[in-house]
Structures are given as C-alpha cells and as structure tokens.
Structure 1
C-alpha cells in the first residue's frame, strides 16, 4: 500500500494541484437536505480543505480531522472558522452524537474501517448521515490521446499501479461500509465532469498521486506539451450516502 503520508510531502501544492469537487455534487447534497446552515459536520482526512471550504460556505460548523501536520497547518490558515484536529481518524476522540453529518472525501481508502466506523457511528446523531465520496481521475468510459499516454506510463512500470480495491468499484466499497451493520446505504450516485489542464497543472496534480513518481508526472506533463499544450481530462466523482443503524436493530 502506498504511504498515506505521501500527501504531507506535497502539502505546499496539494490544495492548488487538486481540482475541486464538481458543482453537481454540491448541488445534489443541497438537494438531499444535508447541508443546512448550522448543522455540525465532521470532515475526516480533510487535507487542505477541499470539502471543508464548501461546507463552511454552506453555513455548517465544521470539525476537520487531518493527520498531516503541514496539511493541517495550511487547513487552519485557509479556513480559520473550522476546528482543525491534527490526528489520525483512528486516534481522534469524538463526542457522542456530536455531529449531524460525517464526510470522508477522497479519504476513505486510507482509513481503517474496523476502527473508524464505530467511532463515526457513535459520533453521529441518530438521524445523521455519513457521506463518502471520491474523485476518480480518469473516466473509464472516455478514452483520449492523453489517457492513452497515461496508460502507457502506467504500463511501463511493469506492475500493478495500486494495491488495494479498485477506486471505481463503488459496490465493493458499499459492502465494506455496511459489513459491520453499523450503516445502511441510502444513495449511490456518480457525477461525470471534465476540466482543461496545461502541462504544469498536470505535473502538479499527478505529483500528488500516491502511486506516481515525480519522473512519471514529468512524462505526463511532456505528453500534454506534445498534444498541443492543454488537454481535457474527463473525471468522475462517486458518492455513497449512508444512515447509521439504530443500536437496537443490530
């Protein structure tokens, strides 16, 4: 498994390098009624605030948990209205029924679910929601010349690019999130979107990927230059919304 603290080494560029979550995701969450002003939100693995910022903008009170000291420091500077806790989700102490929603935004695959799911269950109110989502960089249904070059770079490694579950396999993740019977799935949704990137943006973004080396990111940036200087990347964002199961039914 890649080092989860890989992102800490890229703290200075992480916030700018990673694209924001798509507006369609936030619109959908507003439609679900989970982003009501005054609600208490727990942001797990918050990074530099890609989810924290929009949650605060929606009027929520946000507690953000981030294990990387440099990432947490940047998070505090960018979002001083959030309560930032510099700890691992596995170690943090959370108040019982202290939150209306909990969010794991592009962080669930770094979390020990056997430890953290019971914590989240206790920390949520009985009518709370657990929202899990992730950006997948590269829509498997859309092939482009740039994506062919990316596939070639990965193939040149001579090994599987990532150990662990397929980030596109939302069904498998949903099963993992409900295996303990602490949560039930309400909604599974996928949003498709695109963004135009130049070679510098591609280099910075790919440098933040835990399974990419700097040399590989440089090859991706060179591909952008060879393809005309910019590329349109087609991405997906999946969402799983869950409800905590009452203790009496488990």
Structure 2
C-alpha cells in the first residue's frame, strides 16, 4: 500500500519498529533555543508519538495533529498531556500566533505544502520556527554492506515512476521547497548519522511499515538478514531543516 494510510493499518507494528530519533538531534534543538520548557509546539503528522515524547519530556506544551484513529489512540494513551487533533495537516485549524514552534517528523513529504505552509505561517508567532526532520534509511556515505546490496537488488527490480518530490536525502532541495513563497527562511541545515543493529524479525517489522514495500519484498529482506547471520547493521541519516518565520511579502498577504 502506498500512502499515509499504510501507517494507520500497521499502527502497532509502526510503533514498535520505527527507531527513535538520535539524541544529538534533540541536543541541537536545545542549543538553538527551540526546544525548551513551556514552548508551545504543534506537531503535524505525529503518528504514535515517536517525536512527540521527547518534546513533552523537554517541557513543551504539545498539540499533535494525526489523521489516523489507531495512531492517534496510541498517542493519547502514551502521552495524555498532549492535545491530539484527529485530522490532517491540511484540514487543521488554529488561531493566529498560537505556537512558538511547528514540527514535522518524517511527515512533510505527505503534505500539500501549498496549503500547509501558509497555514503554519499564520499559526506561528512572529519569531516562530518550523522544524523538519526525518529518518532516511541507508547512509550513502557508508560503504555498501552486504545487506544494503540485497536491499538495492530488491528495490532495483521495481517498475513504475519514483515517488514524486525530493528524495529522503535531497536536504537542500527540501530546504528550498519549504522556503518557497517567502514565508519561511532556512536558518540551520544539518545531517545526523547513526547506526543500529537489527534482527531478521526487526527488519521484517520495520520494512513492513514502509509504504512503498510489498509483503513479498519485506519477506525477501527478512530472508536476507537470515542469510547474513541473523543480524545486520543499518546505517541511518536524519536530515534536520530549521526555518524561521518571515514577514510575508506584500504580494503574498492576500493569500494568507
């Protein structure tokens, strides 16, 4: 299944299989003065709360937007202090200046940015910021491992056009796209690299949450891990883009 609804259908597996974001990311947001106690944060596409929990732990007052009922339910049970709106980023409505910070964690590629960016600009206070980050599975700066070679063989057999829009690691292109229209300006761009060891079952769970992987492909990836000794090391990249809210140019004011 391709599309954000795939995560809803795999909510419990998604919650246990998706890795946490690296501590270095949260440390950087603190250093930039964005992650602090009392900050009013809106998180779009919050899922089951993998990014929400560290925001709450830092003392932020979080409002989460999540369209999937199962994922929203997991989020409510895990973090009862969070206000959860069960709707899409495009349909959400908040008062002007309601938030200090907006966060999109492994979600922005699903948004209609022509709708969401003007809305975010209105919801943020004048000196607010938008923070975008995601997991990219497979670090191109690391020499290909035998497991990554097997993964590349699986995805290389696919037909059809690639997913539209910038890729997972087209970080500068994402920064340009998110700043288009003059509402936001990039102020910090960085990539964090880390790794984790996974079992065959862990790979099957994780890859089954990828919206562009079929069940047959997931099973093949699991067998690859078994062939390689039962455990493999996955190398990850987490690109971070911080954008500051700008005063809207006069030509755009009528559209906000």
With normalisation by structure 2, the TM-score equals 0.94
Kindly tell me the number of residue pairs found equivalent between the two proteins: 250
Indicate if the aligned counterparts of 1:154 and 1:161 stay in contact, CA closer than 8 A.
Answer: no
Matches within 5 A, 1:65-144: 65-142=65-142, 143-144=144-145
Q: Indicate the residue corresponding to 1:246 in structure 2.
A: 247
Q: Deviations over 1:149-204 (max 9, x none)?
A: 00001112244553432111111111111111100000110000000000011000
Q: What does residue 58 of structure 1 align with? A: 58
Does the 8 A contact of 2:99 with 2:125 survive in 1? yes
- Rounded to whole Å, the distance in 1 between the matches of 2:48 and 2:175 is 26
Q: Secondary structure at the match of 1:247?
A: coil
Counterparts in 2 of 1:243 and 1:22: CA distance versus 1, 3 Å? same
CA distance in 1, matches of 2:161, 2:28: 34
CA distance in 1, matches of 2:55, 2:167: 28
For residue 184 of structure 2, what is the aligned residue in structure 1?
A: 183
1:119-165 Cα deviation digits (max 9, x unpaired): 10011111111000011001112210000000001112244553432
- 1 CA distance for matches of 2:151 and 2:123? 41
Q: Secondary structure at the match of 1:72?
A: helix
Q: Which whole-Å deviations, capped at 9, do the CAs of 1:30-78 have from their partners, x for residues lacking one?
A: 1111111011100100000011100000000000000111111111111
Deviates further, 150-159 or 41-50: 150-159
Distance in 2, Cα, partners of 1:153 & 1:247: 46
| Structure 2 unaligned blocks of 5 or more | none
Match of 2:233 in 1: 232
CA distance in 1, matches of 2:204, 2:233: 14
**Residue ranges of structure 1 left out of the alignment (5+ in a row):** none
**Distance in 1 between residues matched to 2:83 and 2:166, nearest whole Å:** 31
Equivalent in the alignment of 2:207:
206
